[in-house]
Structure 1
Amino acid sequence: MKKLLAIIFLISSLAQAQFTINGTMTAALDTDWVILYKIEGARQQFVQNATIKKDTLLIDGKKQAIGTFKFDLPENTKAGFYRITYRTSGVSFVDFIFNKENVAFAFHPDYPEQSATFSTSKENIYYKDYLSEISTAQQTLDSIQITAIRNPNLDLKSAYKKAFNKVNSIQKQYLTNANEMYVKPFIKATLRVNPPEIKTTAKEYMTNMTSTFFDNMDFNDETLINSSFLVDRIADYVFYINYSDNKETQQKLYKNAINTVFDKISNATFKKDVIEFLIAQFENSKNLELIDFLFENHYEKLSENLQNKDFLKEKKALFATEIGRIAPDFSWKENGKNLALSTLNEAENYVLIFWSTDCSHCLKEIPQLHKFLQDKNDVKVVAFSLERNDFGWKNMKATLPNWHHVLGLNKWENKIARTYNINATPTYFVLDKNKKIIAKPEEFIDVKEFVNKL
């Protein structure tokens, strides 16, 4: 009996040996789910999901919609940076620290970072207090510095020194009190390296900012690596600190910033994750030059076992037909001759069109395009027809003389069509004489407008 009671007690103790994450959304939300992830550098690992319970509270005599959720974590859950996500797009997450303690917080779902407040969790409350106090002091210091640059006749050295000492005093206090806390590396890494003396020009100020930006950040610290901290700072450095209105200068700044970042990172896995993160950022703006730069100078120099060949292949295929790329080559037989797109040398520009005889838009636009280009000797057309068989194509191409006609069987599964990411017809590409893609007009009217400007 005693043995049975001991087992029951043990089971009961184990069942209670867990931690809870409680969240409250202080506004109505158009979703009823929330997902918990563990942050590991530029990646996030799924932990579990939960349902948002919706309710209303009476606040100052008014009904306020709220949403609550709860996660139960086992006793062996690893300490680290965690993230709750509640939307598929836009601002949709809250990051927090978990270090073997219950966590409770509230936030407004439309501006979570600014509104998040913690009611339970020594680590998170301490870090939030630190960020609030240090950012206020830093803003005061920055304000004095900017005023001095704008008004060089003002003597602000004493005020600057006082604000400078205030920042360092806050930093020292929080660091001292953070001994043995998980949050300590974040506090250490957050402090900016402010110059001890006030700067007199904007150039001096920005030079100090860029040259010392990472000085307090230990890129070998596993706690920092396994959080969103370093990735967020890298994004700030690459995309905001190094900025120019001039496009060419900006590209150079991007490259220099990227090289600076990777000179700091020795952890190969983290480096790979950061490269993939930056590629994704430049993918949003279709900055092919920087994507190529990242692949050629950093990704492809990783060890073979770290490179994701599928990722490499997928991304290179995705951008193979963007404006600025050389159009992927293909060959065909025409009047007994073997021809290839890359070796055509008949015009200053080419219109490459993917079309089909069972496409009503094509049957309307193709004759219009033929008529429009009849007197334009410096533009040649390569018409690539996606078909199930050659019956309709043979009849149709006879009505379109002086064009190059290519038959692409297997319709959407045609290898060339897949290379060009064709998912609709007609699809137009305008090429220069070197077969570089210079435009991707959506409709015939757009082709006409672009060609008239050549």
Structure 2
Amino acid sequence: MKKFIFFLVSICAFNLNAQHTISGTFTPAEDYTWLIAYRLKPGTQVYAADTAIKNGAFTMTLPENAEPGTYRLVYAVPQEEYNFDIIYNGKEDIIFNFNSDDGASFKSSTENTILNEYEAAIATAEQNFISYYTNQEQDELLYQNLIQEILNIQERYEEKSNGLLAYHFIKANKPYMPTKLESVQDYVQHKKEHYFDAIDFNNTVLQSSGFLKDKLANFVFTALPLTADKVDLKETEINKNIVLINSHIEQLSASFKFHIYNDLWNYAVAYGYNSVSDFIYNTYLNELAKETNNIEIKNAIEAHNRLRLGEVAPEIIWKKGTELLKLSDLNGATNYVLVFWSSTCGHCLKELPALHKELSGKNKIKVLAIGLEDDTENWKQESKNLTSFEHAISLGKWDSEYADLYDIHATPTYFILDNEKRIIAKPENDKAVVEFLEKIY
């Protein structure tokens, strides 16, 4: 999981004419070539600057009108994975060293030093407190001392950051601490009840960073009863958590809420929580996507939903002579293979004949080859060489009906279905198709 490093900044006394730099090193040097900075805003990000990384070193000059706030530094692709956040205060140059194991360590920045110290200290103290429960300790004095240590750290760093923007993040991160000895069950429940006590969701400094997104995601997916030990129970509790967080953010802007729910949807998909991702999309994200005109993301989510493993493959209809055939009507096989190809695609003309040869004589497997074509001439000729396949054509190629329905962006693309036409695999090539099927038979 990427580390978020907050460089907290003062908006006050900002000199619009000052021009500052972000500089430092990336290790190992050969792994990094370019750095891009985006200014984060509620629900979006805006390009700020970029620079080359040469022999592991870089200096990025920010524009004179660069606003104070959180900046996302992207150092590889995909951008949503290879990045970390800093905060630029408009008054100082920033220097850090980055390595792939430990993330960024800052050589110059007062506010970041304070925040990083706080994050390390509070994380260690909280882990010590949790260990009290996991080690099944019974010493009540030790319990109170562990609580007091956390409270002292929080108070010390709130005082130390007073007047800095670091204060916004430190204050908002204040953890729940019991006032007396609690059972682990009571502690978990009370921590959940008080999770958002210190957070001001209207704080634009917090909105223009990754802080709220991370806090909300952590709550949604980890603030669960100890008894929720099965997937269906977890998903039910996660959905309850989503309803709860909505009560905290429902008055915020649509763009900010879309950003939050889209991230939560992606987390749910990554965890394989289909009922959670469906709940997020159907209850919140669908309407927010329309309201904020994020139609491309809406379409991508809907494509994912209809093509994910376990879903019945979308209907395909084609003509065979004068007869109208449907995918849903195909029978007599244990498994079905859909392959989207083109008669002008070099990879297709290599892989499909190989697949045809491998599956020849296997009566429990039927293949439907859907040609994405601009016309029928080449398709008719090449189809004749694949006699054991069923053949359908979708004119319009990338803009055709079935290219859109099955979200096809490259040929050949494969889907393997069970006898109920449910999608059970999406192999990358013909060899992977054969390997998957060999595991079944």
Interval of TM-score (by shorter of Structure 1 and Structure 2) = 0.7 to 0.9
The yes-or-no answer on 1:49 pairing with 2:39 is no
Residue in structure 2 matched with residue 135 of structure 1 by the alignment? 123
Q: 1:102 to 1:296 in 2, by over 3 A?
A: same
Structure-1 separation of matches of 2:124 and 2:353: 66
Letter in structure 2 aligned against 1:223 = V
Q: 1:275 to 1:393 in 2, by over 3 A?
A: same
The yes-or-no answer on 1:171 pairing with 2:154 is yes
Structure-2 separation of matches of 1:221 and 1:110: 32
Aligned equivalent of 1:77, options 56, 59, 66: 66
Q: 1:137 to 1:330 in 2, by over 3 A?
A: closer
* Paired residues, number: 412
Q: What's the CA shift for 1:312?
A: 0.7
Aligned equivalent of 2:307, options 295, 301, 321: 321
Partner of 1:302: helix, strand, or coil? helix
Aligned equivalent of 2:257, options 250, 271, 294: 271
Residue in structure 2 matched with residue 309 of structure 1 by the alignment? 295
Structure-2 separation of matches of 1:425 and 1:26: 39
Residue in structure 1 matched with residue 163 of structure 2 by the alignment? 180
Residue in structure 1 matched with residue 85 of structure 2 by the alignment? 95
The question of whether the paired residues in 2 share the 8 Å contact of 1:21 and 1:72 is answered with yes
Percent of aligned pairs with the same amino acid = 22
Letter in structure 2 aligned against 1:191 = K
Structure-1 separation of matches of 2:423 and 2:35: 43
Q: 1:247 to 1:135 in 2, by over 3 A?
A: closer
Q: What's the CA shift for 1:274?
A: 0.8
Q: What's the CA shift for 1:296?
A: 0.6
Structure-2 separation of matches of 1:171 and 1:398: 73
* The structure with more radius of gyration: 1
Gaps spanning 5+ residues in structure 2: where?
Answer: 1-13
Structure-1 separation of matches of 2:33 and 2:386: 58
Residue in structure 1 matched with residue 209 of structure 2 by the alignment? 227
Q: 1:240 to 1:391 in 2, by over 3 A?
A: same
Give the TM-score of the pair, scaled to structure 1.
Answer: 0.77
Q: 1:448 to 1:19 in 2, by over 3 A?
A: closer
Q: Which moved more, 1:271-280 or 1:159-168?
A: 159-168
Q: What's the CA shift for 1:223?
A: 1.4
Structure-1 separation of matches of 2:312 and 2:186: 42
Structure-1 separation of matches of 2:382 and 2:299: 38
Partner of 2:48: helix, strand, or coil? strand
Q: 1:93 to 1:118 in 2, by over 3 A?
A: farther
Residue in structure 2 matched with residue 25 of structure 1 by the alignment? 25
Residue in structure 2 matched with residue 216 of structure 1 by the alignment? 198
Letter in structure 2 aligned against 1:210 = K
Structure-2 separation of matches of 1:360 and 1:51: 40
Within-5 A mapping of 1:104-253: 104-113=94-103, 115-121=104-110, 123-147=111-135, 150-151=136-137, 154=138, 156-201=139-184, 203-242=185-224, 246-253=230-237
Q: Which moved more, 1:172-181 or 1:323-332?
A: 172-181
Q: What's the CA shift for 1:160?
A: 1.8
Partner of 2:155: helix, strand, or coil? helix
Q: 1:207 to 1:357 in 2, by over 3 A?
A: same
Structure-1 separation of matches of 2:76 and 2:159: 38
Structure-1 separation of matches of 2:220 and 2:198: 17
Structure-1 separation of matches of 2:84 and 2:369: 51
Structure-2 separation of matches of 1:24 and 1:146: 41
Task: Identify the structure with bigger relative contact order (alpha carbons < 8 Å, sequence gap 6+).
Answer: 2
Structure-2 separation of matches of 1:349 and 1:272: 42
Q: 1:393 to 1:368 in 2, by over 3 A?
A: farther
Partner of 1:175: helix, strand, or coil? helix
Cα displacement string for residues 282-333 of structure 1 (whole angstroms, at most 9, x for unaligned residues): 4445654433322111112438432412221133224532322221212223
Q: What's the CA shift for 1:390?
A: 5.3
Q: 1:330 to 1:276 in 2, by over 3 A?
A: same
Q: 1:350 to 1:407 in 2, by over 3 A?
A: farther
Q: What's the CA shift for 1:106?
A: 2.4
The question of whether the paired residues in 2 share the 8 Å contact of 1:145 and 1:160 is answered with no
Structure-1 separation of matches of 2:293 and 2:53: 39
Structure-2 separation of matches of 1:87 and 1:301: 32
Q: What's the CA shift for 1:112?
A: 4.9
Within-5 A mapping of 1:56-75: 67-74=57-64
The yes-or-no answer on 1:332 pairing with 2:333 is no
Structure-1 separation of matches of 2:214 and 2:326: 47
Q: 1:165 to 1:310 in 2, by over 3 A?
A: same
Q: What's the CA shift for 1:279?
A: 2.7
Cα displacement string for residues 111-139 of structure 1 (whole angstroms, at most 9, x for unaligned residues): 454x5134333x32332333344334334
Cα displacement string for residues 424-444 of structure 1 (whole angstroms, at most 9, x for unaligned residues): 3373432433x3223345535
Q: What's the CA shift for 1:102?
A: 0.5
Q: 1:286 to 1:419 in 2, by over 3 A?
A: farther
Partner of 1:96: helix, strand, or coil? strand
Q: 1:390 to 1:142 in 2, by over 3 A?
A: same
Gaps spanning 5+ residues in structure 1: where?
Answer: 1-13, 55-65
Partner of 1:449: helix, strand, or coil? helix
Letter in structure 1 aligned against 2:57 = G
The question of whether the paired residues in 1 share the 8 Å contact of 2:371 and 2:379 is answered with no
Structure-2 separation of matches of 1:446 and 1:197: 59
Aligned equivalent of 2:353, options 358, 363, 367: 363
Letter in structure 2 aligned against 1:320 = R
Aligned equivalent of 1:429, options 411, 416, 431: 416
Letter in structure 1 aligned against 2:36 = I
The question of whether the paired residues in 2 share the 8 Å contact of 1:137 and 1:167 is answered with yes
Q: What's the CA shift for 1:168?
A: 2.0
